[in-house]
Structure 1
Amino acid sequence: MTTVHNIAQGVRSFTSNAFLIEGDRTVLVDAGNEFDAVDRIESVTDDLDALVLTHTHPDHVGNVASVVDAFDVDVWGFDPDHELVDHAIADGETVAIGDGDYRALHTPGHKDDHLCFYSTDDGLLFAGDLVFANGGFGRTDLEEGDRPTLIESIDYLQKEVGNALSAMYVGHGPAVETNPAHHIELAGQAARMGQ
């Protein structure tokens, strides 16, 4: 059973969620911003194997330097040219997170380097800022944001995960542990409104 800790839980600052997944390969998915991520990781484990980024907006990467310094880990993300990314993850590539294998899905529209991570075996999705609970979806009014591209990415995500999803961990707000596929469908509908 995969254990997921949101180390940003309860933080009242400009931050994303940051998910610590324990297992054979203990991984932090997004580092958050403006809180002591190192202290919160150390309250769970002394061991961190990698830091994986859904994308490089400041609220997701503000704590990267302190986490890298404390745990001497490499950072994985879509864009190897970004100063914080040590290793590239391509669309469709498999990434070991916790005890599972996750397929990386390149899902731009909110930001060009956006990735989602989906485990078929566990039925788990790390959705970053592509989709949220109750049909929410990522902003497209920031640099690199594009609504038609975001809609294509939501459609791609929906096709890849189907109805087999058991939980969706999102960049902001609560995790979705009841019928997450429906929340993705709602996000696609909402994103199409007002185009």
Structure 2
Amino acid sequence: MDVVTVTADAEEFTCNAYFVDGDSPALVDAGAMPGVEDVVAEHTSSLDRVALTHQHHDHVDELDAVLDAFDDPELAAYAEHARRDRALSDGDEVVLGDETFEVVYTPGHATDHVAFVGDTALFSGDVVVYNDGAFDDGSFGRTDMPGQSRERLIESLRTLLDRLPESVTSMYAGHGDPFHATDDESVHDVVERALERAERREPKYPEE
């Protein structure tokens, strides 16, 4: 599966938006980088769908620009959106590129948060990331802002582990670097480490 981080050169705060190439070209999140639609156009002339992990501003600020540029591809999202075509629910399936992914509802960082779990890859949004300035090799989304819940995020990480196939070898998170499994460390290891750290229930950042 060919995955490109189309917001890699952003100068403003944004999530990682991922173009997934294949028979059903897709974008996971749109990000907040002006001109992201032009970067996507360097890789494809069409998009079948845009799938959102959640609708925090850093994930959707440029969504309208992407939808307009690619003639309204399907917008798949858990929460309501004026341009949503498909409402996602836990257990649904969505095709990204050449792979079918299960939608796993993973709130805590956001009430509408979902992750996309495939046979070889995980698009984890902000529920779990590899590195983010707070922790390396396994971190979790912040839960100190209104509407967020550390307890619910912990439950979501446990759910994600239960539904994550051992065959998944790549994790594409909303922030930080993508992770690819090695002989010494698996995607499961990264998520388990994030869960262990979240379960300490200590502030993620010293200023919290």
Aligned to 1:191: 198
1:45 Cα deviation after fit: 1.1
CA distance in structure 2 between the aligned counterparts of 1:34 and 1:100, rounded to whole angstroms: 26
Range moving further from structure 2, 82-91 or 11-20: 82-91
Does residue 127 in structure 1 map to residue 119 in structure 2? no
The Cα RMSD (Å) is 1.2
Code of the residue aligned with 2:123 in structure 1: it is F
Code of the residue aligned with 1:164 in structure 2: it is S
CA distance in structure 1 between the aligned counterparts of 2:95 and 2:104, rounded to whole angstroms: 14
Between Structure 1 and Structure 2, the one with more helix by share is 1
Code of the residue aligned with 1:154 in structure 2: it is L
Q: Which runs of 5+ in 1 are unaligned?
A: none
Q: Which runs of 5+ in 2 are unaligned?
A: 131-136, 203-208
Contact map agreement 1:111 1:143 (CA 8 A) in 2: no
CA distance in structure 1 between the aligned counterparts of 2:110 and 2:83, rounded to whole angstroms: 16
TM-score w.r.t. the length of structure 1 is 0.94
Code of the residue aligned with 2:195 in structure 1: it is G
1:4-19 pair list within 5 angstroms: 4-19=3-18
| CA offsets 1:147-167 (integer angstroms, 9 cap, x no match) | 000000000001111533200
After TM superposition, the runs of 4+ consecutive aligned structure 1 residues lying more than 4 A away are none
TM-score w.r.t. the length of structure 2 is 0.88
Identity of aligned residues (%): 36
1:1-195 pair list within 5 angstroms: 2-72=1-71, 73-79=73-79, 81-120=80-119, 123-133=120-130, 134-178=137-181, 179-194=186-201
CA distance in structure 2 between the aligned counterparts of 1:149 and 1:115, rounded to whole angstroms: 13
* Aligned residue pair count: 191
1:29 Cα deviation after fit: 0.2
